[in-house]
Each structure stands twice: as structure tokens, then as C-alpha cells.
Chain A
């Protein structure tokens, strides 16, 4: 009985990780870089929705649309200013460090603009919760929407990558940038497009994260961002369905670990599972092993 409640809670938390992990895995899969600022773009998206919906009292649809547009522009700008000049740097670490820098920059800018005070986010989800067993078991509307949106995004992304020209170009760039550009693919545009999609997903994830857990500070995106990164690695980084599965599994493990082992050790358990999975299957659950051709 309580096990089922825990399971539902795990899926709720996992669905949020999953939707964030989709953006992470998308950018990593194509651009082969870890965008550590992803979690903070999520926070930016959430603040935009908060400002429009709660401060200006405009309809949520307008807020979400604005957040998606602004985050997309943001993503492209960040890529253009902070990542592109370093793409051919001698060390791949350079761009990783820049990403961490961008992450702190966004957090501190938000701190400057919105202040450190916690803001309570009004859920933009209008779906009614599902109740079982006399209301003792509740699946919140936010969870339902997050899972549905996650699945839709997963299908759309898979279709986009496999069926469209731009998607094929992305696959080509991810395999070999040099060869792709020789084949007439505009590598810069393709990577910019990847960041645009990734950041638009971040905006959606931000809205869903804050609808499910309605507290908003400049650091809101940081920790879920890292957990989602773990989820993406867990599911097989670069794999779109892997991110979804990894996210939900991570949520379930975290909640069950808290419930049955120790609430203090929740994170230690999550990361121990991650280590074990990676030891057994280094590419993650759905990760493909890429043969290096010599």
C-alpha cells in the first residue's frame, strides 16, 4: 500500500528528471558537450513564466510561449558567445569550464534581478489529480502532464532526428564534424539549432519542475540539473528514450532509497546505483557502443 504511494512519488520525481534529461542528452548527443548551464536555463524559463503569470497576471499560455522563445534565443546566444569560440580549443575541458562559468553567471544574474527571496510558483497545470483508495493515493495533475509531455517530446525528438533533413544533419555532425562539413552540412548552424531545441526543452522543463515543486530561487535549476545529468548518463547519454527511462528510474530509486533505507542517504544510494550500472554497462542502459574506426 505505502509501497505503491512511494512508487507513484518516485515516478512524479522521475518524470521531472526525465524531462530535464531530454534536453541534456539532446545537446550532448549532437554537440558532444556537457552543457552544465542547462539547469540554469531551466531556472531562467521558470522566472520568465513566474514574472508573466504571477507578477503581470497574464495567461499561462503566453508565459510558456514567451519562456520558450526567450530561452531559445538565450540558448543560441550562450552557444554563440561562450561555447562556439572554444569548440576547436586544444582541450575539450575548456568548453566544460566555460559551461560551469555560464551556469554561475546565470545564477548570479538572476540573484541580481530577482533577489534571493524564495518565490512561490503558481502551477500552470489545470489537469485534475487522479485519486485512488479514498484519496490516500494521489497522482497529481503535474505528474500526469509531465509524463505525457515527456513522452510527446521523446517521440517528436526521435522523429525529428531520424526523419528530417536537419535531424539527419545533426546525426552527421555528431558522428564526425569534419566529414559533415565536407558533405556540405553547415556545422555551426546545426549545432546552434541543437542548442535552440535543447533550451526550448529547458523552458518547458522549468515550467513543469516549478509546477510540481513550487519554490523558485536563482538556484532552483542547479541541483535538479545535475540529477538530470546523472539520469541522462544512467539511461545512456545521447539516447533520447534512454533519458526518459533513466530519469524515471532515478526518481524511483531515490524515493524508494529514502523510504526503505535512509532519508539521509538518499543521494548516496542514487549515486551508488549509478556507479554499479556504469561498472556493468559503461554506456548506460540504452547507450550504444560506438566502434572507433582506426
Chain B
């Protein structure tokens, strides 16, 4: 036994040593990338098509005649699917803008750094981009990293636009804006959508009172519902400690005659609610926010239970408008898969930066701080018709104003409404 223990201890120590080596090595690489001064080489290594390289080279030769926009997000690790989508879509938007003449006649150079969805690595990535003389930051992709990076951008007075960082703290300073709705604002958007489209007249809510995401949405939903033509007939909570049995909450919703049940929760609990509602013969419309996204991917889940479920989402790839169709086709051609909402957010983010930069009359010879001051005002003056909303505007707090969009699950896939 003792010998076993000592072997175990020894191997544990050895593991720690190796782990130490690993991180040192990767930091080394980061530093190397940071000190790399030739932007051309950087872009050549990252860029996927000839135009990007050509542009970069041209920009370099014009000495200061190019805007440097940086991006940060996870392109490896568990959240890589989000980071890759943002990187690809942003590059797509940049290439389009460059091909059409750039921002006010100046070309854009775009560089994306991986943060592995780790706040510390995200800050490192930000420093790397700063060494590259980034002027505007489009990022970060995930909320946790964004909260860390916004502290740095605020201190540096660097303009930051996050495509998808949805937590309140992600844009708590005046230099930071976002394209997506904040978590609690999804409650407002949901209430608006249900009211504007007359989806239901009697609404029940089941929310997780022990979770800030869920209770935040719930509170905004209640506030907004006061001015909407529907009535909340039942609002029942559950907590992290009792989230297996939802019979009471469903029974109350049913007894109160609700024709829509709003679920501002994550899909794990929602899948249980759907199956318990089915055993109770209760079939209202279920309406959720982005937390429900993923319910169709629950392994072994009977997707027929989710039939008719509605979901607030900024983007549906099968929407019929021309902008979406063009974007989806080009994205598929270039990257081989259907773009998700993160891709759409990133695409809109780049175009929002373009619109605001042109409004402010930016030139590439301005430093990041001057650009930031100009952009802060310009962002509140632009109106953008993007993939995630028509007539999008921003207020000084950095929150977007746009009409909410929803999808419905039909035959196991999302269908635009």
C-alpha cells in the first residue's frame, strides 16, 4: 500500500512538472508571436485566401494607411466552435469590406488570437494584439473572458465591441459595446416578441431562482410584460437543489390556463420539463432564450417532445432575406459549414465598426485612444441593418436596440419565424 502511494505521489509530481513545461512552452510561443513585427508574415500564416495577404502587404507598404482590428476568442478547446465561427465570419466581413474599398478608403487588417476560453489567456492575447498595434478590438467571444479583458481595454481606452459576450459585466465600461442582447435583456426581448407577434395572451413562467442568468431574464420579462398585451398568470421558481421534479410548476401553469410557458432556463432542465409536461397531457407553447439552444443535441433526447418549442435567437440560417442568404452561401462556400448565431454576431460587429468608423471619420494614423473616444460617440449615432436585426442602434451603455427574432422547432430543426 505504502509503495503504491509513493508511486502515485511520484507520478503526480511528475505530471505537475510536465504540465509546468507545457504552459511555459506555450507562453513562449505567444511571446514569440507578440514580438513578431512583420505583419505580413503574421497574416500569411493565418490568412486563408490570397486577398487578405495581398491587402496586408499593400497596407504595410502604405505605412499607416491601414486599420488594425484585432479579434479574440477560443479557436481551440471546449468553446472552439464559437471562436471559430466568430473568426471566420469576421474575416469574411473584413474581406468583403476591403474588396469594396475599405473603411473610408482605408483597408482593414484583421488578426485573430486564440484564448481557449480562459480569461488569463484572453488577457495575454489582448497584450499580443496590442504589441501588434491593434486600434480596435472585436471581442472577446465568451462572457468570462470578456469580463477580464474589458478591465484592460478600459484602462487603455481601447474601443471594444464584443459580438457575443452577454453577461452584464462584459461591457460595464463606456468603451465597450456588444452586438448580442445582454442576458437579462433577453427577457425584455422575449416579452416584446410574444406581445408584438401575439403569440399568447396568458403566460406562465418557470425559472431558476438560484441562477443569475435565469432570474435576471425573468425580472426583465416581468417588467416589460407590463406594457405588453399579455398577462403573466403563473410564475414559479425552482432552485439548483430541486431541479428534477417540475410537476408542481407545470400543474400550476396548467391550472392557471396559460397557453404559453416561458422557460428562461438551460436546456438540461427544459428537457425534463418537456417530458413531464408530455406525461401530464399539457401542451402549451414553450418559449425559451439562448439557454434552450442545444436541446436538440441532448443525447438520446426524443426530439418530438421539443416540437413547436420557440426560441429567441438573433439569427436563423434559413431566413429568406437577401443578406442572410448571401452570408450563408458565402460562409458555406468558404468554410464548409452553416454559420451559427456567433458567426452572425461577428459579421454584424465588423460592419458596425465600419459604420461607426466612417461616421466618426477615422483615419488609420490616429492612435487607439483617440479612435476609442471618437467611436464611443459614433456608435450611438449609427443605424445598422445587419444579420441579427434590422435598424440596430446602440445606446451609450453599449447595449444594442433591435427587434427580437425567434425560431420554432419543426421536425427536429430550427425554422425561422
Once bound together, how far apart are the Cα atoms of A140 and B237, in whole Å? 24
Once bound together, how far apart are the Cα atoms of A136 and B282, in whole Å? 9
Structural contact, A215 and B271, CB atoms closer than 8 A: yes
Once bound together, how far apart are the Cα atoms of A259 and B238, in whole Å? 12
Structural contact, B279 and A121, CB atoms closer than 8 A: no
B284-318 with Cβ < 8 A to chain A: 297-302
Count A interface residues, CB 8 Å: 34
Interfacial chain A residues near B275, Cβ < 8 Å: 120, 214
Structural contact, B242 and A117, CB atoms closer than 8 A: no
Once bound together, how far apart are the Cα atoms of A267 and B243, in whole Å? 11
A107-133 with Cβ < 8 A to chain B: 117-122, 129
A190 in contact (CB, < 8 A):
no
Interfacial chain A residues near B249, Cβ < 8 Å: 258, 263
Q: In whole Å, how far is A177's beta carbon from the nearest beta carbon of chain B? A: 22
B236 in contact (CB, < 8 A):
yes
Structural contact, A120 and B300, CB atoms closer than 8 A: yes
> Which residue of the partner chain B has the closest CB to A8?
B247
A88 in contact (CB, < 8 A):
no
Contact A263 B271, CB 8 Å, known A117-B298, A120-B302, A129-B279: no
Structural contact, A118 and B299, CB atoms closer than 8 A: yes
B46 in contact (CB, < 8 A):
no
Q: In whole Å, how far is A105's beta carbon from the nearest beta carbon of chain B? A: 13
B202 in contact (CB, < 8 A):
no
A29 in contact (CB, < 8 A):
no
A122-178 with Cβ < 8 A to chain B: 122, 129, 135-136, 138, 140
A40 in contact (CB, < 8 A):
no
Once bound together, how far apart are the Cα atoms of A223 and B269, in whole Å? 14
Interface code A241-278, partner B: CB below 8 Å = 1, 0 otherwise? 00000000000001100110001101100000000000
Q: In whole Å, how far is B388's beta carbon from the nearest beta carbon of chain A? A: 27
B38 in contact (CB, < 8 A):
no
Structural contact, A118 and B271, CB atoms closer than 8 A: yes
Number of A-B contacts (CB under 8 A): 92
Q: Which of A120, A138, A255 contacts B299 (CB 8 A)?
A: A120
Once bound together, how far apart are the Cα atoms of A115 and B299, in whole Å? 11
A103 in contact (CB, < 8 A):
no
Q: In whole Å, how far is A121's beta carbon from the nearest beta carbon of chain B? A: 7
Q: Which of B247, B268, B280, B281 contacts A255 (CB 8 A)?
A: B247
B239 in contact (CB, < 8 A):
yes
Contact A266 B300, CB 8 Å, known A2-B255, A213-B272, A215-B268: no
Structural contact, A267 and B242, CB atoms closer than 8 A: yes
Once bound together, how far apart are the Cα atoms of A259 and B252, in whole Å? 8
Once bound together, how far apart are the Cα atoms of A240 and B237, in whole Å? 34
A1-33 with Cβ < 8 A to chain B: 2, 5-6, 9, 12-13
Interface code B239-264, partner A: CB below 8 Å = 1, 0 otherwise? 10111110111011001000000000
Interfacial chain A residues near B159, Cβ < 8 Å: none
Contact A267 B241, CB 8 Å, known A138-B281, A259-B252: yes
A–B pairs, 9, beta carbons within 8 Å:
A2-B251, A5-B247, A13-B247, A117-B299, A119-B299, A121-B300, A140-B279, A254-B242, A258-B236
Question: Which 6 residue pairs across A and B have the least CB separation, nearest first?
Answer: A120-B301, A9-B247, A264-B237, A258-B248, A263-B236, A118-B268
Report which B residues bind A (CB closer than 8 A). 1, 209, 236-239, 241-245, 247-249, 251-252, 255, 267-269, 271-272, 275, 279-281, 297-302
Q: A138-B279, A215-B269, A258-B242 are in contact. List 17 more A-B contacts (CB 8 A).
A: A2-B255, A6-B248, A6-B251, A9-B251, A13-B245, A50-B300, A119-B299, A119-B300, A121-B300, A215-B268, A215-B298, A217-B268, A259-B248, A263-B249, A264-B239, A266-B242, A267-B242
